[in-house]
Amino acid sequence: MYDLSTVLFALGLTVFAGLSTCIGGAIAVLRKNPGDRFMAGSLGFSAGVMLYVSFMEILPKGFAELTDAWGEGWGQWGAVGAFFFGIAVIAIIDRLVPEPINPHERGIGADPVLDARRRRLMKMGAFTAVAIAIHNFPEGFATFIAGLEDPEVAIAVAVAIAIHNIPEGVAVAVPIREATGSRAKAFTWSLLSGLAEPAGALIGFLLFMPLLGPVALGIAFAAVAGVMVFICLDELLPTAQATGRHHTAVYGLILGMAVMALSLLMLT
């Protein structure tokens, strides 16, 4: 059983990661237009952070837990299977969300201010917020689990998800602001989409806590790595490339990997 301080630490990391959408919301509110260079760089940076932490921290943690529980052979097969299972789950969710409201499809969040269908901006922003909230829900549970089991991994996961959530906050707030003319409403919608992460942590903790153990944690870590890799390849990098700022996106990707690598080295 976990003590109260450990639970509060894990919850605090989850709140930090989720509410980083407010940073994106604030950027969208304060800037007249985030611009293609900003979007390409921030999305590339986010992808670099998430890819590095997925392959260097989260997936190895899944391998370690499962090989300890099942042995070298079956543990490796289980971790690989969980990794691709995570990819399959997020891919199915992506397919089930209608394309016009899916934040993982190109165009949404890349430069929504220039969208010719201005009369649909409010609907687009609201649906984008809902879709992002759905995707943030399991991220919150993953961050919370990491916080309970391994603080170093948890901090890396929380930072990666926090950076990932900043451009999502931009994607929500920009169309809401343009549709309503209200900075407060735009910021509020970005805040609400981020609150899905601590909600996912609390609900997941209450429902699945009795099931947590080395096997469940190993599968969860490996699956979360798969989810994060899919989001990078399906959402962040294509959207960054769609801005037309290819080199900015690549530089952001490399910078994100470097920053994550340095932060992990400083934690060890």
What pLDDT is recorded for position 130? 65
Instruction: Give the C-alpha separation, 73 to 45, whole Å.
Output: 35
pTM of the model: 0.66
Which pLDDT belongs to residue 110? Answer: 46
pLDDT above 60 (res 124): no
Question: What pLDDT does 55 receive?
Answer: 92
Q: Which amino acid is at 234?
A: D
Task: List the domain boundaries for the chain.
Answer: 4-28+36-98+120-266
CA 94 – CA 81 distance, rounded (Å): 20
Which 3 state secondary structure label does DSSP give 257? helix
pLDDT, one tens digit per residue, over 175-201 is 677 667 788 888 888 888 888 888 888
Cα–chain-centroid distance for residue 250? 19
% residues pLDDT > 90 (the chain): 13
With beta carbons less than 8 A apart as the criterion, state whether 85 and 226 touch: yes
139 is in an annotated binding site: yes
Q: How many CA atoms lie within 13 A of 121 on its CB side?
A: 21
Cα(202)–Cα(191) distance, integer angstroms: 18
Name, in order, each residue with C-beta under 8 angstroms of 60's C-beta and a sequence gap of 6 or more: none
pLDDT band for position 128 (50/70/90)?
low
Count CB atoms within 10 A of the CB of residue 31: 12
Q: What is the pLDDT of residues 94-118, one digit of tens each?
A: 777 555 444 444 444 444 444 444 5
201, 140 Cβ separation under 8 angstroms? yes
- Of the two residues 215 and 171, the one the predictor is more confident about is 215
Distance CA 85, CA 114 (A): 37
164 is in an annotated binding site: yes
Would you mind telling me the total number of residues written for the chain in this entry?
268
Predicted pLDDT of residue 135:
61
Distance CA 3, CA 160 (A): 26
Phi and psi for 128 in degrees, rounded to 5? -60, -40
For residue 230, the model assigns a pLDDT of 86
pLDDT interval class at 68 (50, 70, 90): very high
165 assigned ligand-binding residue: yes
* Share of residues in the chain with pLDDT > 70 (%): 78
Q: Is 247 annotated as a binding residue?
A: no
Give the pLDDT confidence score for residue 122 in this predicted structure: 65
33 is in an annotated binding site: no
Contacts of 158 (CB under 8 A, 6+ apart): 13, 14, 16, 17, 143, 146, 147
Greatest alpha-carbon span in the chain: 59
Tens of pLDDT, residue by residue over 69-95, are 999 999 999 999 999 998 998 788 777
Residue 39 has pLDDT above 60, yes or no: yes
Whether 235 has a binding-site annotation, put simply, is no
